[in-house]
Structure 1
Amino acid sequence: MSLEGLKPHVELIVRDETSSLDERLLNICKLLEDNVPYYNWVGFYFKNGDKEELKLGPYVGEPTDHTIIPFGKGICGQVAVSNQNFVVPDVSAQDNYIACSITVKAEIVIPIFVDGENIGQIDIDSNTPDPFTSEDERFLEFVCKEVAAIL
């Protein structure tokens, strides 16, 4: 299914008020991981209260030890500080990369804003070198806006 074709499914998940917030976030992760062949780990990180760190939320993929990420560390921690999308075509070329798995070749992280504040992000790892395009960025920005509406 195309990224564009996934948008109505994301909207349905977000609007499913019979499911909890975490269930909806997990269902988005499953939808993306199941339907985009190069999305091999899909998860959400959120600001951990007043702390300068991110806490892992719902995700699908290999288990990770990175349940807490300090601001500034790794790709996710850098996005928490920069408030900018971060597309990494080759994780081995990044000095400030936190390795989750030796199979991961690329990563994309898109921030989630609520009332102008960066409160979290969607993080996607790929086992395919340099798979992410501007279409992925625009699609994931759409996903983040949808998620922001229910936070």
Structure 2
Amino acid sequence: MIFENLKPQVETIISNEQKTVDERLLEICELLEKHIKYYNWVGFYFKNGDKEELKLGPYVGEPTDHTIIPFGKGICGQVAVSNQNFVVPDVSAQDNYIACSITVKAEIVVPIFVNGENIGQIDIDSNTPDPFTEADERFLEFVCAKVAEIL
């Protein structure tokens, strides 16, 4: 499975202290986008200081206007409140969806916890309808746990 092959690469990226945190996060985005064919936009959002909003961090894919997302708004904003993974097989069926691109068909968002606090998330858009499985969730939980180690 591709996820098992990517785990050691994620660990290598995370452990490279010669690079900044943002450089390592960008490298993870690039790794996932390159090797998982249905990951078309990969990025991180983080809690913006004391504000009830998320701020866009490193990402790869089409540019987005959504650099700030209020808590509760869109899929990412809902995950900031719920502290739960959110898998959206069909974004057109979601009432509270913020469209980034007309090509996006599905989205998965997994929160990042540091000391039990939801401080951010990984957000992945796919141009493929309903591509995400439980294996994606478990892999992205692994990625988020590794990312949490350097935050």
TM above 0.5, yes or no, is: yes
Match of 1:76, SS state, is helix
Encode CA deviations 1:77-117: one digit per residue, 9 max, x unaligned: 00000000000000000000000000000000000000000
Where do residues 85-96 of structure 1 align in structure 2 (5 Å cutoff)?
Answer: 85-96=85-96
Identify the residue that residue 3 of structure 1 maps to in structure 2: 3
How many angstroms apart in 2 are the aligned matches of 1:40 and 1:16? 25
Matched residue type, 1:70 = P
Structure 2 unaligned regions, length at least 5: none
Structure 1 unaligned regions, length at least 5: none
Identify the residue that residue 130 of structure 2 maps to in structure 1: 130
Matched residue type, 1:143 = V
Identify the residue that residue 27 of structure 1 maps to in structure 2: 27
Question: 1:130 Cα shift?
Answer: 0.1
Matched residue type, 1:21 = V
Runs (4+) off by over 4 Å: none
Identify the residue that residue 101 of structure 2 maps to in structure 1: 101
How many angstroms apart in 2 are the aligned matches of 1:137 and 1:21? 23
How many angstroms apart in 2 are the aligned matches of 1:110 and 1:134? 12
Q: Is the aligned partner of 1:62 residue 2:65?
A: no
Question: 1:53 Cα shift?
Answer: 0.0
Q: Provide the TM-score with structure 1 as the length reference.
A: 0.99
Calculate percent identity across the aligned residue pairs.
83
Matched residue type, 2:39 = Y
Q: Provide the TM-score with structure 2 as the length reference.
A: 0.99
Matched residue type, 1:122 = I
Q: CA RMSD in A?
A: 0.6
Identify the residue that residue 53 of structure 1 maps to in structure 2: 53
Question: 1:24 Cα shift?
Answer: 0.1
Encode CA deviations 1:5-31: one digit per residue, 9 max, x unaligned: 100000000000000000000000000
